[in-house]
Amino acid sequence: MRYLSKPVLAGLVLLGLAAGCLALSAGALSPARAARPVTLTYAGYMAGLPVFSFNTTVTLPAGTVPGNGGYSIAADGQTAGNFRLLYPYAASINASGALKNQKAAPRQFRSVSQIMGRQEAVTLTYGAGGKVGIDAQPLTRQAQEAAAQGFADGTMDPASAIVAMVADFARTHRCQGTYKLFDGVRRYDLILAQGGFVDLNPMQQSYYDGSATECRAEPQLLQGFSAAARQSQFYPQAARLWLAPAVTGLPAIPVRIEAQNALGVMVLDLVDVQF
């Protein structure tokens, strides 16, 4: 059970990060609301059953527009329902940085997770020349290898990467590009491609249903993934995100995210928005 839980739940966390960080568009593109935090709540499902819950709060300085200004993100997620009995898991994430000239420059990223009663924490600090400092508690083999081989350098954390994607989407109205990511354990690239337009059907507690823009994301697993986990295909092989103008006065925000792994289709659905 312990082996299965890590890749399965890491996949859910990657989905949650995407949802939470893309929520930055709610603040970044709306100066009138930028001074207030925006909190989005998502419910996660597999086979129609609740398995995950995720909340994220994003704060930006008043008057911020894409390309300029600081950002901070605080998010937490945990397994839910009967799935929590099988895989008790919780994680919190904090990230900060600055947007400048349509690019995100991370300053610090910290994640704390609890898996089967065991806590793991990692802090990433971003320095000059793309250098990334890694502080893992407890010190993991992956963190040691990343520090020794330098494969975290030149990357950004998942939260800051999605901030960069949002800024680019706001400018071009397209999902595109490749982003180099390191989350303190895993090193992977995320490749984005534009999808089409769909009319979303409501789920159990959907905040929004209607027309949305599809964005396709494909991760390329590079470092920090065990051979067994790769072969199991528990990590999402691909994901789809739908963005829509779900809240009056705000630009498009992610209203649903879907990913496929060996267990089936995992879905995160927006269920609440608070200012």
CA atoms of 273 and 254, how far apart (whole Å): 11
pLDDT at 129: 92
Both tokens of 13, joined, read 């966390």
pLDDT at 161: 84
Helix axes 2-22, 158-172, angle to 10 degrees: 40
Both tokens of 175, joined, read 């999902």
Average pLDDT over residues 234-262: 80
**Residue in 84, 157, 155, 152 with CA at minimum distance from that of residue 114:** 84
Q: How confident is the model over 46-63, as pLDDT tens digits?
A: 888 999 999 988 776 544
CA atoms of 232 and 39, how far apart (whole Å): 34
* pTM given for the model: 0.84
Q: Where are the beta strands (DSSP E) in 60-158?
A: 68-79, 89-100, 103-115, 118-126, 132-137
Q: 268 near 242, Cβ under 8 Å?
A: no
Q: How confident is the model over 84-114, as pLDDT tens digits?
A: 888 899 999 999 998 887 678 999 999 999 9
Residue 251 pLDDT class (50, 70, 90 cuts):
low
Average pLDDT over residues 9-14: 51
pLDDT at 31: 40
Q: How confident is the model over 134-159, as pLDDT tens digits?
A: 999 999 888 999 999 999 999 999 88
**What is the b/e burial string over 47-60, where b = at least 16 CB atoms within 10 angstroms of the residue's CB?**
eeebbbbbbbbbbb
Residue range(s) defining the domain that contains residue 96? 2-274
For 163, 164, 200, 220, 236, the CA distances from 192, given in Å and listed in that order, are 13, 12, 21, 11, 14
For 159, 167, 168, 169, 227, the CA distances from 172, given in Å and listed in that order, are 20, 9, 6, 5, 38
Q: Helices (DSSP H) in the chain: which residue ranges?
A: 2-22, 25-28, 81-86, 141-149, 158-172, 227-232
Count how many domains the chain has.
Answer: 1
